[in-house]
Structure 1
Amino acid sequence: MRLFHAPGSPYARIARMAVIELGLEDRIAVEEATLRDPGSVLLPFNPVGRVPTLVLADGTAVTETTPVLMVLDSLVEPPRRLLPGAEAPRALAAYGRVLGMMDGIAVWNRELRRPEHERSPGVIALERVRAARIADALERDVAGGGYVVRDAGWLALVALLGYCERRHRAFAWREGRPALAALFDTAQARPCVARTVPPEGMGGTAASG
């Protein structure tokens, strides 16, 4: 099996961390792909051109973070569910909240990468307020004992904060959020985190999904 990713994508990083966390590195080759590139090695497998994309042994290409996690969970015996199900609504809600913030950060980052005269101040203001609101909610969640289980919600949160830390510094997410900062800092020692650190700088968006 092959997992295509882009180094700057927090969505793909979730899948990369999951491969390590589940001990699947000997079964899945992790390969880098370019995005928005008509010559990308990804396109013959996935015409959508998004990451993460997991190509199965029979050639089936599973794309988008949540479906990829579903497949990865199914490969482990005995089963270890990173992705919460309907029987764990609070964990599922925690995962969804982080993905929602990630989507907004992607929009904000995309606007900042446009030439200044093409940017939408309204979109930037909206996403800045949204990000702060969700980050405050996440701070309360973490301070209240949430995100302690290393499941999909934890992986997504670490990937999101890592993206903000290194590639979206317009958002000062640490300010006034000590519990969130402590969770992120502690997570850096985890092998799945340390081995998937994204590159520095503003050289890319949060694509894909």
Structure 2
Amino acid sequence: MRLFFSSGSPFARAVRVALRETGLAPRVEEVETALRDPRSTLLPHNPVGRVPTLVLPDGTALTETALILPFLDTLGVAYPLLPAGDLRARAEFGRVLGMLDGMAVWNRELRRPPEERSPGVIALETARTSRVADALEAEVAAGAWALDGPPDAARITLGCLLGYAERRHRAWPWREGRPALAAWFDRLAARPAFAATVPPLSGL
């Protein structure tokens, strides 16, 4: 199997972290690729041109973190990323994915020339992302989102989201007023799988 990724993508990073945490990394070749490039090495395998894309031995290309992480559970992982029948785990995963989608829209808007940005979109996604972060702060402070064992899909994705905010979306000072969430992230970020996949620093 081959995983096409971009080092700056938090969506792709979540899959890369999951491969390391579950012991599947030796079975998957990681291929860094360019995005929004007509010469991208990904396009012959997936014309959508998005990462992460996991190409299976028969040529099937799975796109999107929401599809790839559950698929990994079918490969004999060391522990399940989304335990069967655990609706809470799925609800947490879906909420973090929604938060990450909003932050990605916000980030893309900030990368446009100032005259092309939509203040309404920026305001909407700023409010959405901060609202979810505030809810997470309260939950973590109350003892939820425990890190007693290896991280599941929701924890991995949330760690990658906050890591993206640290390195590639610094316009959002997410640590301010959220000490419990910040301490939670620092503990997760120290795990080898996260330390090995830190995204490059951006100008934003």
Place the TM-score, normalised by the shorter chain, in its bin. Answer: over 0.9
Report if the CA contact (8 A) 1:83-1:152 is conserved: yes
Residue 92 (structure 1) shift: 1.2
2:106 to 99, 108, 115: 108
Question: Quick one: which amino acid aligns to residue 113 of structure 1?
Answer: R
Q: Give the C-alpha shift of residue 96 in structure 1.
A: 1.0
What secondary structure, in the 3-state scheme, does the structure 1 residue paired with 2:130 have?
helix
**Shift of the alpha carbon at 1:84?**
4.1
| TM-score, normalisation: structure 1 | 0.92
- Deviation readout 1:40-59 (Å, 9 max, x if unpaired): 00011111111111111111
Q: How far does the alpha carbon of each residue in 1:112-156 deviate from its partner, in whole angstroms, 9 at most, with x for none? A: 111111111111111111111110011112222222251001000
1:55 corresponds to: 55
* Contact 1:148 1:154 (8 Å CA) reproduced: no
Is there any run of 5+ residues in structure 2 with no aligned partner, and where? Answer: none
> Partner letter of residue 18 of structure 1?
A
Q: CA RMSD in A?
A: 1.4
Aligned residue in 2 for 1:80: 79
Residues 54-90 of structure 1 deviation map (CA, whole Å, 9 limit, x = unaligned): 111111111110211122111125x6210244x2122
Query: Is the deviation greater in 67-76 or in 10-19?
Result: 67-76
1:156 match: 157
Relative contact order higher in (CA < 8 Å, ≥ 6 apart):
1
Is 1:178 matched with 2:165? Answer: no
Q: Decide which moves more: 140-149 or 187-196.
A: 140-149
2:197 is matched with 196
Of 71, 83, 98, the residue aligned with 2:96 is: 98
Moved over 6 A (4+): none
Report if the CA contact (8 A) 1:164-1:173 is conserved.
yes
Counterparts of 2:176 and 2:145, CA distance in 1: 19
- Which residue identity lines up with residue 160 of structure 1 in the other structure? L
- In the aligned structure 1, how far is the partner of 2:57 from the partner of 2:29? 11
Which TM-score applies when normalising by structure 2? 0.94
Unaligned runs of 5+ in 1: 204-209
Residue of structure 2 in register with 1:89 after alignment? 87
CA distance in 1 between counterparts of 2:97 and 2:174 reads 16
* Distance (Å, rounded) in 1 between the aligned partners of 2:100 and 2:140: 17
Q: Percent identity?
A: 61
Equivalent position of 1:46 in the other structure: 46
Distance (whole Å) between structure 2 residues aligned to residue 31 and residue 74 of structure 1: 22
Cα displacement string for residues 164-200 of structure 1 (whole angstroms, at most 9, x for unaligned residues): 0111011111011111100111112211100010000
